[in-house]
């Protein structure tokens, strides 16, 4: 298993193509989910993949990093102010570059 879809990303359009392919191929046959959740999933994947592509070292630009980021996204219902490691990464990136592609996508989720 050596296929790495990140190797084919060249720009934001390619990120969107990858996210579209991920969603289409993980939905299941004949299943239509709630449009709200699908749009949120698209935004999340776009933000995370954008972060990985533009910010991560080349050796970390892969699906394993994406899964690790998703796993690190803890939410605490009893603490609205809690920030998980991914939130903190995006906060730091926003401080450096508020108009970064990944930051813009991530802000649309929250």
Which pLDDT value is given to residue 58? 95
Which pLDDT value is given to residue 37? 86
Which pLDDT value is given to residue 25? 87
Pick left, alpha or beta for residue 13 (phi over 0 → left; psi -120 to 50 → alpha; otherwise beta).
alpha
In a domain, 50, yes or no: yes
In a domain, 69, yes or no: yes
Count how many domains the chain has.
1
In a domain, 7, yes or no: no
Which pLDDT value is given to residue 33? 66
In a domain, 58, yes or no: yes
Segments forming the whole domain that contains residue 66: 35-109
Which pLDDT value is given to residue 73? 96
pLDDT profile of the chain (110 residues), mean per 10: 90 97 81 80 97 97 97 94 97 98 93
In a domain, 41, yes or no: yes
Which pLDDT value is given to residue 32? 67
In a domain, 62, yes or no: yes
Q: Which residue has the tokens 């980021």?
A: 69
Which pLDDT value is given to residue 10? 97
In a domain, 25, yes or no: no
Q: Are 45 and 19 in contact (CB under 8 A)?
A: yes
């Amino acid at each position: 298993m050596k296929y790495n879809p990140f190797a084919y990303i060249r720009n934001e359009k390619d990120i969107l193509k990858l996210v579209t392919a991920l969603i289409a191929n993980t939905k299941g046959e004949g299943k239509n989910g709630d449009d709200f959740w699908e749009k949120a999933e698209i935004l999340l994947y776009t933000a995370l993949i954008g972060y990985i592509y533009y910010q991560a070292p080349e050796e970390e630009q892969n699906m394993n990093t994406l899964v690790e980021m998703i796993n690190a996204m803890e939410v605490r219902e009893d603490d609205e102010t809690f920030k998980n490691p991914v939130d903190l990464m995006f906060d730091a990136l926003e401080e450096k570059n508020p108009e970064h592609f990944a930051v813009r996508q991530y802000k649309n989720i929250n």
